[in-house]
Amino acid sequence: MRGGAGGGQGAGLPAETVAVVFERLSRHMPGRTADAKGPKDQPDPFRSVISCLLSAQSRDANTAAAVTALFALATTAEAMLALPEAEIARAIRPCGLYNMKAKNILRLCRHLVDELGGRVPETREGLMRLPGIGRKCADIVLSFAFDRNVIAVDTHVHRVANRIGLTTARTADETARQLETRAPGWAQRDGHFWLIQFGKAICTARRPRCETCFLADLCRFYSTTP
């Protein structure tokens, strides 16, 4: 029985094989659907970036509870700055690390208001200058809020990409950097969705369905696992 999570070790797939993998994913997975929404289903860049900040080390249900409570209090950077830090911390308590996240929310909002006129940056570099925002959140906001062609890498995309051999990375940020150069340009827009959908339907974390997988003949994990 094949299983396990795979990892970022060994040689990756050749560039021409990477292109074939994405071509097959494009034929078998739905990709970005018409009802795809921003992070945690938020309607604008500000709420998207705050939701991403809150999602760090938090389950989806807990993040959703924190997001709902926080945005009942304020939905703009200016309004958020009018709230006491303790009130923000109480609202976001379900998502964990709430004291640190409350500080980062206020620091982020202060940066937006003082340096950027309240507008969320539309570049990865600008987003990553915001307190509490790393590459994963930056790319998710770019993809969902600004409709940019970028493969955002969460834990699921990181696992699948390295298991197949699209990348050979030990961290999600390194996986993102490798996918940015190794994935064909035409695959950048939907690659995030294809890999997540593939990971949920076939390449599951503990018991991947290798025997019926349409990528088995190309997959590094399948070829090297007894």
Closest CA to 164 of 108, 214, 118, 99: 214
Domain of 44, CATH number, reads 1.10.340.30
Same domain, 179 and 213: yes
Per DSSP, the residues of 181-215 read HHS-GGGTTTHHHHHHHHHHHTS-SSS--GGG-TT
Same domain, 57 and 93: yes
Instruction: State the Cα–Cα distance between residues 59 and 40, nearest whole angstrom.
Output: 11
Domain of 178, CATH number, reads 1.10.1670.10
Q: In this structure, is residue 72 part of a structural domain? A: yes
Instruction: State the Cα–Cα distance between residues 146 and 133, nearest whole angstrom.
Output: 16
pLDDT tens-place values along the chain, 226 residues long: 444 444 445 678 999 999 999 999 999 999 887 666 555 468 899 999 999 999 988 888 999 999 999 999 999 999 999 999 999 999 999 999 999 999 999 999 999 999 999 999 999 999 999 999 999 999 999 988 898 999 999 888 999 999 999 999 999 999 999 999 999 999 999 999 999 999 999 999 999 999 999 999 999 999 887 7
Phi, then psi, of 146 in degrees rounded to 5 = -115, 5
Same domain, 51 and 130: yes
Same domain, 155 and 62: no
Q: In this structure, is residue 64 part of a structural domain? A: yes
User: Catalytic one among 40, 101, 139, 154?
Assistant: 154
User: Catalytic one among 40, 136, 139, 190?
Assistant: 136
Q: In this structure, is residue 103 part of a structural domain? A: yes
Residues 6+ apart with CB under 8 A from 186: none
Same domain, 27 and 52: no
Q: Is 136 among the residues known to form the active site?
A: yes
Q: In this structure, is residue 4 part of a structural domain? A: no
Same domain, 126 and 154: no
Phi, then psi, of 78 in degrees rounded to 5 = -65, -45
Per DSSP, the residues of 71-127 read HTT-SSHHHHHTS-HHHHHHHTGGGS-HHHHHHHHHHHHHHHHHHHTTPPPSSHHHH
**Domain assignment of residue 179, given as a range:** 15-33+150-224
Same domain, 125 and 57: yes
Same domain, 44 and 141: yes
Same domain, 52 and 122: yes
Number of structural domains the chain divides into: 2
Instruction: State the Cα–Cα distance between residues 69 and 95, nearest whole angstrom.
Output: 11
Measured CA distances, 109 to 75, 119, 125 (Å) = 11, 10, 17
